[in-house]
Chain A
């Protein structure tokens, strides 16, 4: 659930979602769920010429499984906090495994 929680802290930030087909969608992160499906508002496609069908679309739901990257604004990420959360998550995973 680490990344789910992480994305929740990024709501209302401007992101660029790059899909596995190389298409990139820019927009405001509006919501995320446990599968890391993403909903963006006020979207624009980075290469509009190649993807004309999205010109008339205002918001998109992107299925998590087709995402390659999410480009994030660096300033809003507290990297030290993120590393701590990662270590905690790793430790809780390890204790679950140990308890088998």
Chain B
């Protein structure tokens, strides 16, 4: 971090990893979580622990079928979701076009 850090409030400067997350606010992001879970949703808030708030969330969970023990995925929807940061593995910004 440079000594002349006066212009850090500039919204487009990316000097640390979470700045990339800031640029994804109000965009749809992909989040991978511990325990074989993935979510996609519109990002509205984050903090330094990677706590998140997302809307229009689609969650994908890998589960094992009770009878035939086959691995399958289930989808769950949620209109507004708080995600605790300690389970977050990665946050991927929307793909740039």
Contacts and interface: CB of A to CB of B under 8 A. Distances in A.
Interface of A: 2-3, 6-7, 20, 36, 64-65, 67-74, 77, 79, 82-83, 85-87, 89-91, 93-95, 97-98
Interface in B28-84: 33, 35, 42, 44-48, 51, 53, 55, 78-84
Contacts of A6: 45, 53, 82
Given A3-B51, A86-B25, A91-B8, A69 B45 contact: no
A69 B53 contact: no
- Chain B interface size range: 20 to 34
Contacts of B87: 20, 68
Contact of A82 (B5, B11, B15, B53): B53
Contacts of B44: 77, 79, 82-83, 86
Given A2-B47, A79-B42, 20 more contacts: A2-B45, A2-B51, A3-B82, A6-B53, A20-B87, A64-B84, A67-B84, A68-B33, A71-B78, A71-B80, A72-B81, A73-B79, A73-B80, A74-B79, A77-B55, A90-B22, A91-B8, A93-B48, A94-B16, A97-B16
B82 A70 contact: yes
5 contacts: A72-B53, A86-B44, A94-B8, A94-B9, A95-B9
